[in-house]
Structure 1
Amino acid sequence: MANEVATTDGEEQPGTSFDVNSLSGIEKAAILLLSLSEQDAASIIRHLEPKQVQRVGAAMTSMTDLNSDKVAAVHRAFLEEIQKYTSIGMGSEDFVRNALVAALGEDKANNLVDQILLGSGSKGLDSLKWMDPRQVASIIINEHPQIQTIVLSYLDPEHSAEILSQFVERDRLDLMMRIANLEEVQPAALHELNEIMEKQFAGQAGAQAAKIGGLKAAAEIMNYMDNSIEGVLMDSIRDQDEEMASQIQDLMFVFDNLIDVDDRGIQTMLRDVPQEVLQKALKGAEDNLREKIYRNMSKRAAEMLQDDIEAMGPIRVSDVEGAQKEILSIARRLADAGEIMLTGGGGDEFV
């Protein structure tokens, strides 16, 4: 990876100003990494989560229009941001904890702080985060349903949704209801499960109690499922336990719920959404949601977006749903970081 960047015709030339706010967070991260040496970039990338690596890596490979002004603007923005934190206890536990809470949300941050500061990381389970969902499914398919439940509750909801899609419908129903009813895993059980994973993948097991699972975890996993699977599974849960189905439904956040996000939140979210993803997502959106999105863009950007959508012609429903789920993933990440606020289908706070 070279430290130099190419200049493309039609882009801003050196000496002109570039609006760094026109870039998404992923694009800024990609440009920053591309401007580093391979060794320095690798040192940063190894600390990212699997999904973050995929998204940043994709952005890096698609960067073909870099020039010195754009790179300099990203560097300036990065330096301005990092300078806010250079004089407030960079090595302290409080700083690390507060920074991680801001970036990941309290639940994930607390678990990560324990791993970093106390050395009690669950390496066995963590190794599953980097595996293909089909591979994880093949590993746990013959385990006891309670072990499967703990694994699915521990992993990121998007990953768990993809793993669950590999199970037959009957088992998906059983596991989703177990996840919804799960509240806490005792230290001994988590330690034992880590040892099982450790034997296969190596690593240091932990014995930390974990509050995982529950209705919110079930709702988050459902949010990431394909619509066809989600609908069948929700109907099956409702047949088994109508109250549980209603509670999960209330906690779910679907694309149409974006209409309830305030204008500032929509504007924040749009900065991180790739244009082509937004086009596909809005192709199948309700008119009132489209209008809300347009109102939170500049007039010129809104007109261009409308023209692009009209010029697309028919596209597959699965492509629309995939784009909408990608936007929802961005919205949830921003909500976890405290940058925007989402509300579930039932109007409850969902952050």
Structure 2
Amino acid sequence: MEEERGKLNEKLSMHLNAISTAPLGPLLSFLYSGSPLQAAIMVACLEPEKASLALAYMPEYMQRSVITALAHGIRVPADVLERIAADAEETLQQEQSDEIQRISVSFMEDFQELIPHLNRRTVKSILELLKKTEPERYEEVHSSLVTFEDIMLLDDRDVQRLLKEVPFQQLASALISAPEPLKEKIKRNMSKRMAARLEETIKTQDWMSSVTNPEKIQDRIADTILRLAKAEEIIIPRNSDSIV
């Protein structure tokens, strides 16, 4: 009898130890699928810091039952407790196995590949969201993008090279909604006569901006910047080695 009790205590100790050393992620997932008694056993064998986190993320209906059980003590036969602990350990092991085998399907992981298929407004919205929620990821993605505003990064020689590739009317349409410093940089790399003509054309087309869609044209020019950069005809200063 003593030998059986010793074996039972040994098994129970092994199960409880496995529960206490399980990663927090599977533990939290377990809380949504296990019974309140299993959850109480799990919390009871965790370190205080881990136990408090487990309780904090536990569904409210289960939280009350677990706290009550812990307050009064868990009084069940040793063999029943061993089976419950064994089931809890098995469930946690399955959770961990599923986590390892689970394929990460993340939009942001493939962001660069999707950019050519997204419009400018969508890209801007996603970047704004990233900037607020994941600053590091934002810097990584933003530094790899080529945009119309990157003209500000080019030296004068490269701006002049770009202007040879962009039709005049297209350039004027793109500059309708562009910031003044960018307009000035473009005009600075033209002859005075062409700069004056550009300014007049921008004013003439301004009222047609809803029809000409400046942002769409800016995207086309960004594509041209990218093409020239990949052909090593111009250089875009970057923190990242890859540009999209």
- Higher relative contact order at CA 8 Å, sep ≥6: structure 1 or structure 2? 2
Normalized per residue, the structure richer in helix is 2
Structure 1 or 2, whichever has the larger Rg, is 2
How high is the TM-score relative to the length of structure 2?
A: 0.50
